[in-house]
Structure 1
Amino acid sequence: MSQPSPASLMAIKIVIVGAGSVGVTTAYALLLSGLAADIVLIDIDGNRAQGEAMDLSHAGHSAQARVRVGEYEDCAGAAAVIITAGVNQKPGQTRMDLVKTNYALFQDVVPRVASNAPETVIVVATNPVDVLTHAAQRLSGFPVQRVIGSGTAMDTTRFRHELGHHYGVNPRNVHAVIIGEHGDSQLPVWSLASIAGMRLRDYCAQKAIAYDQDAMDACSRRTKEAAYEIIRRKGKTNYGVASVLVSIIEPIITNSDAIITVSRVGTYAGVADVALSMPCKLNRNGAHQDVPLLLSESERGQLRESALSIKSFIDSTKVEGV
């Protein structure tokens, strides 16, 4: 797969809708990454967005990029539009508690993005991300591969961090994924988790240590509860999700066919027309599910439960189009 030249990278525009904590942190991470020449912030509070753009520009003294405030017309020609706008999760709330307020916002935002940038890739970060990824696909009319939710990419990163800490290895050398809902019904794929090419039980046997399922369950539990714990302590999450959004944007810009666990609309474990996360190949055309994940019978059952949970919530919202 050919990579874009430095000159072509300099033509890349990324639009971020929502200049709140996640949106601005994502803009900062993108600025430092050098992936885009033009980073556009769109926010209902134009004055605040202008202040953020000014501050970000002062941080970009060594970066070959421009950060500016724009309108929806500025989505034209964007390689990707990241939607972070919406009400944030508060202590004690679940992600699903946010759906009606944030869906109403999407009814305004998504058609405006789609009409101005009919060839772009939409990346949804607003929670509940699976329900809103489904909504964004319907509201935009885009093919399913061009509407991507950040999904369990963040959970997968947290999961690898937990396993790496437990086994004393760098998380980059842990191959393990969280699939399903970005929420309470998510599931770790234990049957495929590996270190140094070995399944976890085999790795433990080779290292002459006991495989501790209770410790593994604790890693999974901390992964699922991480956002709640962070929000309880500091009121929001932003750094982790911003880094994950940049990791999703990179293969879209570079057309590099990276495999990342993201959310998109499809049929999962027999449940049709629902958005949840599975490993997908990402490139300039969006997210593609080329090969079904090889799951154990138990994991297939858990995935179906997760899909039904999301589907049930979509059906019960009684908001047209979700």
Structure 2
Amino acid sequence: MRSKITVVGAGFVGSTLVQRLAERDYADIVMYDIVPNMPQGKALDLLQAGPVLGYDSLVTGTNDYADTADSDIVVITSGFPRKPGMSRDDLLKKNQEIVSQVTEQIVRYSPNTIIIVVTNPLDAMAHVALHVSGFPRERVIGMAGVLDTARFRTFIAQEVGASVRDVQAYVLGGHGDTMVPLSRLCTVAGLPISQLIAAERIEEIVQRTRDGGAEIVKLLGNGSAYFAPSASVLQMIDSILLDKKQIVPCAVHLEGEYGLNHLFVGVPAQLGSKGIEKIIEIELTDSERAALQKSASAVQELVDVLGIHN
């Protein structure tokens, strides 16, 4: 019996993720969208790539949540893009509405699934999904830290001329301007980056990591990143579906860890078949802890606007 994964939202992030999942060939995938015929067309296109690339994944496009029934994992990518004249709070409320409706349908048809939230503002939307689903925190996870860490690792690798595989790093905190790249713990083939890169240059790379999404939005002119975000979700799904027990930074609902309560914040977590199987508490310096607290406060502001409490 093949595993079943649903991706809600067939835009750039969603459809690219479906392509990556199909090529993994370990699950059947349902791609849901509210736009009539669009997910069906994309699914058919992806199915026809199967004979060329050699995968047998069944890809189904649908506008009916009934087709998503009994999914092992559901990824929420659907959301509203910010438009001219729209405040941050307006966007927040609109996406709260979307994620709430999506989550209600997910729970109705797949009550035992694991939810991965991608919709921005990420940490706040994960909070919405947890609140509406009533799931235990182990089964609602936000994708952010994997992406932010991938950006940090990319810039470090480019700076020192090393393979990205040799760069290890963590980015904690909320998915936004207040994220906390832990440069102190970043290594290249086991060597601390402080031995390889000047301190002021490290700070510039940290800032570029914080601005990672905005830099791509500015370059594209219309739209945002989707290749790296979809790859980041894939890494999380790999660890869950294949029970890899991989430790990756992702947004989890903290209940006392790091001195934070009832809030989704990016921290290292071990992902396995049950979802979040362990939250890893890193020993932080006073300045790192203060930065994480500041990041958590920024997330709390968004949650307060939503008017929900877990």
TM-score, scaled to structure 2: 0.92
* Alpha-carbon spacing, 1:237–1:290, altered in 2? closer, same or farther (3 Å): closer
Q: Any stretches of 5+ residues in structure 2 without a counterpart?
A: none
- Partner of 1:44, secondary structure, is coil
AA partner of residue 298 (structure 2): S
Name the CA distance, whole Å, in 1 between partners of 2:96 and 2:298: 18
- Partner of 1:293, secondary structure, is coil
1:87-129: CA deviation from partner (whole Å, max 9, x where unpaired): 1356999987632111111121101101211111000011011
Residue 27 in structure 1 maps to residue 18 in structure 2: yes
1:289-314: CA deviation from partner (whole Å, max 9, x where unpaired): 34311211110111111111111221
* Alpha-carbon spacing, 1:296–1:164, altered in 2? closer, same or farther (3 Å): same
Q: Which residue does 2:3 correspond to in 1?
A: 12
Quick one: which of 171, 181, 184 aligns to 2:164?
A: 171
CA contact (8 A) 1:175 1:195 kept: yes
Quick one: which of 154, 157, 173 aligns to 2:150?
A: 157
Residue 68 in structure 1 maps to residue 54 in structure 2: no
Residue 240 in structure 1 maps to residue 231 in structure 2: no
- Partner of 1:289, secondary structure, is strand
Q: Which residue does 2:263 correspond to in 1?
A: 274
* Alpha-carbon spacing, 1:72–1:144, altered in 2? closer, same or farther (3 Å): same
Quick one: which of 174, 181, 200 aligns to 1:214?
A: 200
1:256-311: CA deviation from partner (whole Å, max 9, x where unpaired): 10111111111454331110111110011012334311211110111111111111
Residue 107 in structure 1 maps to residue 93 in structure 2: no
* Alpha-carbon spacing, 1:25–1:97, altered in 2? closer, same or farther (3 Å): farther
* Alpha-carbon spacing, 1:294–1:87, altered in 2? closer, same or farther (3 Å): same
Name the CA distance, whole Å, in 2 between partners of 1:16 and 1:148: 14
State the number of aligned residues. 304
Q: Which runs of 4+ in 1 moved over 6 A?
A: 90-97
1:29 Cα deviation after fit: 1.0
Q: Which residue does 1:5 correspond to in 2?
A: none
Residue 253 in structure 1 maps to residue 241 in structure 2: yes
CA contact (8 A) 2:248 2:269 kept: yes
* Alpha-carbon spacing, 1:60–1:98, altered in 2? closer, same or farther (3 Å): farther
1:74 Cα deviation after fit: 2.8
* Alpha-carbon spacing, 1:155–1:290, altered in 2? closer, same or farther (3 Å): closer
* Alpha-carbon spacing, 1:95–1:164, altered in 2? closer, same or farther (3 Å): farther
AA partner of residue 81 (structure 1): V
AA partner of residue 8 (structure 2): V
CA contact (8 A) 2:253 2:263 kept: yes
Q: Which residue does 1:88 correspond to in 2?
A: 81
Quick one: which of 40, 49, 52 aligns to 1:50?
A: 40
CA contact (8 A) 1:95 1:128 kept: no
Counterparts of residues 241-320 of structure 1 (less than 5 Å): 241-267=229-255, 268-315=257-304, 317-320=305-308
Q: Any stretches of 5+ residues in structure 1 without a counterpart?
A: 1-7, 205-210
Q: Which residue does 2:120 correspond to in 1?
A: 127
* Alpha-carbon spacing, 1:95–1:53, altered in 2? closer, same or farther (3 Å): farther
TM-score, scaled to structure 1: 0.89
Q: Which residue does 2:186 correspond to in 1?
A: 193
RMSD between superposed Cα atoms in Å? 2.0
* Alpha-carbon spacing, 1:236–1:259, altered in 2? closer, same or farther (3 Å): same
1:134 Cα deviation after fit: 0.9
